[in-house]
Structure 1
């Protein structure tokens, strides 16, 4: 069975999404190891995503694209909840004693790389905004 290469436009969009997700995760205080685990990318892909090369392209699988999407949507939910950058970018690194965090920060919780946990954290934070969209 032949594997089809992703079209160049899809690879360009994937690179843009990945670069944005990496930047957000780093603003939340994630380490390189945490970013790679959360997005399920290799350390070399993470390093390339950090560079400012506008010509860089990447093929991401459905799981990776979903993870990027969840990080972007989590950030969007936080933007609705918080007006100031300190809370917007600091919330994910703050210890939280509510379920599902139980004293850990949301970033700590999602750093294990489990897709369902990432989705649950997104869903929880998204629910905090109520019907504010």
Structure 2
């Protein structure tokens, strides 16, 4: 039943009674089932961007928020645990930066940009990678928003 100008209050109440009582099950990084399902693909994409950006093992580990030894296991494909909420957020932010850069630049600059010193206020003449490592999740998310804004996505 569609609500139109002729609908009565009884019709509207009846329509509302047909709505589900529970909210739609939204995907979040806080639910272990969602993290388990998303971790594999997130790590595959994260490993690919690390290679494209030419990051060291130490930079990759710091960007993801894991120890060097954990990064080695992830890189070898022997990591069999879901990422934590923070780690999945970090991977998602980095993947968003990667995607945004590839939408912004049509050449190799998309993969060079993260390692170039930047005068943008959030980077303070550091490379975006260094700024994201030092600033953690807040700066990673801000970098993603910055790239989206530069390319006109906001």
TM-score w.r.t. length of structure 1: 0.78
Of 75, 84, 94, the residue aligned with 2:98 is 75
1:46 aligns with 2:71: yes
Distance 1:104 1:121 in 2: 13
Per the TM alignment, residue 121 of structure 1 is displaced from its structure 2 partner at its CA by: 1.4
Aligned position for 1:3: none
Of 108, 133, 136, the residue aligned with 1:114 is 136
Per the TM alignment, residue 125 of structure 1 is displaced from its structure 2 partner at its CA by: 1.4
Per the TM alignment, residue 100 of structure 1 is displaced from its structure 2 partner at its CA by: 1.6
Cα 1:32–1:18 change in 2 (3 A) is same
1:58 aligns with 2:77: no
CA contact (8 A) 1:26 1:35 kept: no
Per the TM alignment, residue 77 of structure 1 is displaced from its structure 2 partner at its CA by: 0.5
Number of residue pairs the alignment of both structures matches:
123
1:14 aligns with 2:47: no
Per the TM alignment, residue 56 of structure 1 is displaced from its structure 2 partner at its CA by: 5.5
By relative contact order (CA 8 Å, sep 6+), the higher-ranking structure is: 1
Of 35, 45, 51, the residue aligned with 2:60 is 35
CA contact (8 A) 2:35 2:85 kept: no
Deviations 1:71-112 (A, max 9, x none): 11111111110111x211101111111222222111121122
TM-score w.r.t. length of structure 2: 0.69
Moved over 4 A (4+): none
Cα 1:123–1:10 change in 2 (3 A) is closer
Matches of residues 79-90 of structure 1 in structure 2 within 5 Å? Answer: 79-84=102-107, 86-90=108-112
